[in-house]
Amino acid sequence: MRVLGIETSCDETGIAVYDGDKGLLSHVLYSQIPLHADYGGVVPELASRDHVKKTLPLIKQALAQAGLNAADIDGVAYTAGPGLAGALLVGATIGRSLAYAWQKPALAVHHMEGHLLAPMLEDNPPPFPFLALLVSGGHTQLVGVEGIGRYELLGESIDDAAGEAFDKTAKLMGLDYPGGPLLAKLALTGDSKKYKFPRPMTDRPGLDFSFSGLKTSAANVIAKEGSSEQVQADIAASFQQAVVDTLVIKCERALEQTGYQRLVIAGGVSANISLRQQLEVLLQRRGGAVYYPRKEFCTDNGAMIAFAGYQRLRAGQQQDLTIGVTPRWPMQELVPV
């Protein structure tokens, strides 16, 4: 079975073709970063309009890259949520319409399930069961995973997501958009022990997160200490360490609670080098293993949607002719495969 995957949940247009026998045949990605940079963040209406312009040309490019045409596609998968409503509707409308025109089944894919399954595109995929840390600009969640569609939400952020805290703190420091990766790069030259930031909600039981207070603490230091190059590097390193420590502490608690020996990290922040290194140390100490996708599949992409769609389409799941999206969509609502 060959599945065309379409990702348009926010500010990246991702298209891919996945083959159940041969694996990933093609994937193309267009980023809207230059479009939104002048505004310091994503402008939903501009994002939607740009998806309208880019999605069909990228589909043609992905098919050509794979050496296929419409007749070779056995199903179409598109992101239906969570995400920006207008952006989601572009991908859903195009994906459902193509499936109807090609007389192929269509499937609405959950964006975070795509991220969760992205490490399975690698040569050493994680076997079930495992703990998943989904950490991005919009989500920070700990999920117990027994199988595809068998998810238990163990903890999540009650305010800002970790990636959102990175971006907002970077903006306070005057870094360009998107600031999170720039802050992480700046942290490489800083002293992570220079400033003492809180590790939110680690002094109490539970697996939920909170990053808004940490961001406020960083804002106070930024306002007080100035903006010299070394001060900024030290703030970036200290802030990053506080986020990473918080995530690692919560992951260890969740591993102890569930008894799992495998950890998957996925989402944009999973590309953070410091986070990867410290989670690897944690799992090695516990005799377990950590899995993550290659960096190009950490951020939003069509490959993860094509793969997630393939898993469900081959199990016989598909959508009716209704075109709909779910901007807020709890992953626990998904049915098992």
Domains of the chain: 2-117+297-333 (3.30.420.40), 127-292 (3.30.420.40)
CB atoms within 10 A of CB 310: 23
pLDDT of residue 227: 77
For position 226, what pLDDT does the model report? Answer: 77
Which amino acid type is present at position 177?
Y
Q: DSSP character for 209? A: B
Q: What is the pLDDT of residue 149?
A: 97
Annotated binding site for Fe cation: 111, 115, 300
Query: Dihedral angle at the C-alpha atoms of 111, 78, 333, 160, nearest 10 degrees?
Result: 20
Strands (DSSP E) along 157-288, which ranges?
Answer: 262-266
Confidence (pLDDT) at 106: 98
Binding residues: 111, 115, 134-138, 167, 180, 272, 300
Write down the pTM of the prediction: 0.96
Tens of each residue's pLDDT in the chain, 337 residues: 999 999 999 999 999 999 999 999 999 999 999 999 999 999 999 999 999 999 999 999 999 999 999 999 999 999 999 999 999 999 999 999 999 999 999 999 999 999 999 999 999 999 999 999 999 999 999 999 999 999 999 999 999 999 999 999 999 999 999 999 999 999 999 999 999 999 999 999 999 999 999 999 999 999 999 779 999 999 999 999 999 999 999 999 999 999 999 999 999 999 999 999 999 999 999 999 999 999 999 999 999 999 999 999 999 999 999 999 999 999 999 999 9
The length of the chain in residues reads: 337
Distance CA 296, CA 287 (A): 28
Q: Is the peptide bond before 178 cis (omega within 30 degrees of 0)?
A: yes
- Binding site for substrate: which residues? 134-138, 167, 180, 272
* Residues 6 or more apart whose Cβ sits within 8 Å of residue 160: 168, 210, 211, 212, 215
**Which tokens is 330 given?**
């709890």
Per the structure block, which two tokens stand in for 293? 């996708």
Nearest-Å Rg of the Cα atoms of the chain is 20
pLDDT at 97: 98
Could you tell me where the beta strands, DSSP code E, fall in the chain? Answer: 2-7, 12-19, 23-31, 75-81, 106-110, 130-135, 140-147, 150-156, 262-266, 289-291
SS3 content of the chain, % helix, strand, coil (to 5): 50, 20, 35
